[in-house]
Amino acid sequence: MARALRRLAGVLAAVLAFAALVAAPAAASSTAPSDGSVSWSVQPSTENGPDGRTAFTYELEPGATVSDVVRVNNFSDTPQTFRVYSQDAINTPEGSFSLLEGSETPVDVGLWAAVSHDSVEVPAGGHVDLPFTLTVPANATPGDHAGGIVASLTDVVTEEDDNQVLVENRVGARIYLRVGGDLAPSVRIQSVSASFDGGWIPFAGGSLSVTYELENTGNVRLTGSQLVDVEGPLGVALKSVHPDDLPELLPGQKYTVTTEATGVQRLGRLTARVSIDPASLNVPEGSVEPPDVSAVASVWAVPWPELLVLLVIVVLLVLLRRRSRGRRRRAAEAIAAAEARGRAAAAAELGTSRIVAVLTAGVLALLGLAGLAGPAVAGERPAPGEMDVTVTVPSPSPTGSDSGSDSGSVGGTGDADGGEGEHPPTGADLAGWAGIGVLLVVFGTLLARPLRRTGAGAGEAAA
């Protein structure tokens, strides 16, 4: 049994956390629900009934006491008994106004307020007005304090596994109290963090999520505007986001904000700058305004998709450059080979002409030698039966001669005109001509050898 009660208490605490009070300015419902469920509301009232107030608002000095009336309305068609109590106000992590759970002990307005009854039975479709008092301690801190008066119903709910749990449903009216003294509004940004989700689509940008916590460090309820600027390297502005205005932030309370900037380009190190322009609520004209505050957080947004695209482009450019250089190299080699072949052909043609000239000169020299050698041999050897006779005729003496006789001599030489006759070629002349012809032929052969080597080298270079 004790184990079951502990389990019921734990479940009840969990349910109460989710069923925290969110006091509405007006009644929770103006008509009875058609499904038979219970509907009720809590609102400010007077001895003569509601006066149009949506919340209990007081400005008191330390030690002061105020009396007031709260009304509980039952919109259901059956009588209901409600538990009535006062509690301190808080802000939820999302910034909403709420009250501490009924099981927690109040230390502020919830402690200072005292309702005349802990519970009240309200007839079907009726209402009950309950008086209460609010006494400000003498040592109360100046500034704003908040709480509420709650009317709650506790139900026993049976779960699917037949376990029974207690569920407390609460509705309340807000209490705003300002204790006299100096007002010092201020707010602080803390726990700023940023994360980037870029995906893999190049140049499409990503989402930058920024989370931060706002704390009311002053003694005045605050609201205000928010701004988140996203900056890239060197302070380049990339994106600006305007989250919703601050909800009513109670003194000493914290509020967690999460906002997202989309379409942020990946530019490396990104900076998220949070700026808050706070404003005090319900302060006299000329009161000190809270100063603006800001904070930053940084995150890396590495452009992996863009770098991958850039790498592909670089690889393609390198391949195209190599292909172009290969074509130019092959064209240059073809031109060089053609030029080499042309030079080889020209050299071969020139060498051939020279060889032909040298060989022709050699052959002509040999042919001339053969033509000259024939008469020489014939002059030295007369034909059979013939005799070579040389007759010398003496010339008259300049002083005359009376002999009148002619004398002959054998062995003289001359021609019919009395001049000196031509001598046939000797053996030395023939040997000289023969040597010249042989040298010309050898020289032509030697010229042909380097020309053949040059032609072969040009052919290999062209290949």
DSSP secondary structure of 217-233: -SSS-EEEEEEEEEE-G
Residue pair 61/191 in contact by the 8 Å Cβ criterion: no
In the 8-state DSSP scheme, what is residue 281?
A: S
Long-range contacts of 153-158, Cβ-Cβ distance < 8 Å, separation of 24 or more: 153/38, 153/40, 153/80, 153/82, 153/83, 154/83
pLDDT higher than 50, residue 31: no
Residue 100: band (very low, low, confident or very high) from pLDDT cuts 50, 70, 90: very high
Rounded to 5°, angle at Cα 9 from 8 and 13:
115
pLDDT tier for residue 153 given thresholds of 50, 70 and 90: very high
Is residue 413 pLDDT above 50, yes or no?
A: no
pLDDT at 436: 74
- Evaluate if residue 24 carries a pLDDT over 50: no
Provide the pLDDT for residue 223: 96
CA terminus-to-terminus distance, the chain: 105
- Does position 340 have pLDDT exceeding 60, yes or no? yes
pLDDT confidence of residue 350 = 76
d(CA 63, CA 135): 7
Average pLDDT, integer, range 432-448: 69
Q: What is the mean pLDDT of residues 306-320?
A: 93
Whether residue 184 contacts residue 218, with contact meaning beta carbons closer than 8 Å, is answered with yes
The model's pTM is 0.63
- Crossing angle of helices 304-380 and 427-462, in 10° steps, is 170
pLDDT score for 287 = 87
Least confident of 52-56, 128-132, 377-381: 377-381
Report the run of H or E that residue 174 belongs to, with start and end.
Answer: strand 164-179
Q: How far is residue 201 from each of residues 197, 261, 418, measured CA to CA in Å?
A: 11, 17, 124
CA 98 to chain centre: 45
303-327 in b/e form (b: 16+ CB < 10 A) is bebbeeeeeeeeeeeeeeeeeeeee
DSSP 265: -
Complete DSSP assignment for 292-358: PEEEEEEEEE--HHHHHHHHHHHHHHHHHHHHHHHHHHHHHHHHHHHHHHHHHHHHHHHHHHHHHHH
**Greatest mean pLDDT among 97-101, 198-202, 350-354:** 97-101
Return the higher-pLDDT residue of 89 and 103.
89
User: Which of 205, 211, 214 lies closest to 228 in space, CA to CA?
Assistant: 211
C-alpha 270/C-alpha 231 separation (Å) is 6
What pLDDT does 163 receive? Answer: 84
Mean residue pLDDT across the chain: 81
Instruction: Choose between 165 and 83: higher pLDDT.
Output: 83
Q: Is the pLDDT of residue 424 over 90?
A: no
Question: Is 37 within 8 Å of 77 (Cβ atoms)?
Answer: no
- Rounded to whole angstroms, what are the CA distances from 73 to 43, 44, 362? 8, 11, 146
Percent of the chain with pLDDT over 70: 71
Position 226, amino acid: Q
Q: Report the residue count for the chain.
A: 463
The two structure tokens encoding residue 194: 């940023």
Predicted local confidence at residue 410, as pLDDT: 41
pLDDT value for 29: 34
Choose the weakest-confidence range: 19-33, 58-72, 309-323, 418-432: 19-33
Q: What pLDDT does residue 346 have? A: 84
Residue from 312, 73, 287, 316 nearest 178 by CA: 287
Query: In which band, very low, low, confident or very high, does the pLDDT at 33 lie, cut at 50, 70 and 90?
Result: very low
391 pLDDT more than 80: no
Residues paired with 83 in a beta bridge: 119, 152
Q: State the residue for tokens 């140049």.
A: 203
Give pLDDT, residue 371: 61
Q: What is residue 450's predicted lDDT score, i.e. its pLDDT?
A: 62
Dist. CA 257–CA 405, nearest whole Å: 168
**Mind listing the pLDDT tens digit for each residue in 54-98?**
999 999 999 999 999 999 999 999 999 999 999 999 999 889 999
Closest residue by Cα to residue 410 from 393, 392, 395: 392
Residue 387: what pLDDT? 56
Name, in order, each residue with C-beta under 8 angstroms of 197's C-beta and a sequence gap of 6 or more: 206, 207, 209
pLDDT value, residue 155? 84
Question: How many Å apart are CA 92 and CA 100, to the nearest integer?
Answer: 10
Residue range 345-357: average pLDDT?
Answer: 76
Residue 404 CA to residue 391 CA, distance in Å, equals 19
pLDDT tens digits along 208-228 = 999 999 999 999 999 999 999
Return all residues near 87 (Cβ < 8 A) that are at least 6 apart. 21, 99, 100, 102, 104, 106, 110, 147, 148, 150, 172
Q: How confident is the model at residue 353 (pLDDT cuts 50, 70, 90)?
A: confident
Higher pLDDT, 225 or 346: 225
Per-residue pLDDT, averaged over 235-261, amounts to 95
Q: What is the pLDDT of residue 257?
A: 95
Which is more confidently placed, 280 or 164?
280
Say what the pLDDT of residue 453 is.
59
pLDDT at residue 284, rounded to an integer: 87
In the DSSP assignment, the letter for residue 398 is: T
Is 306 a residue whose pLDDT tops 90?
no
Determine the Cα–Cα distance for residues 357 and 229; give it in Å rounded to an integer. Answer: 96
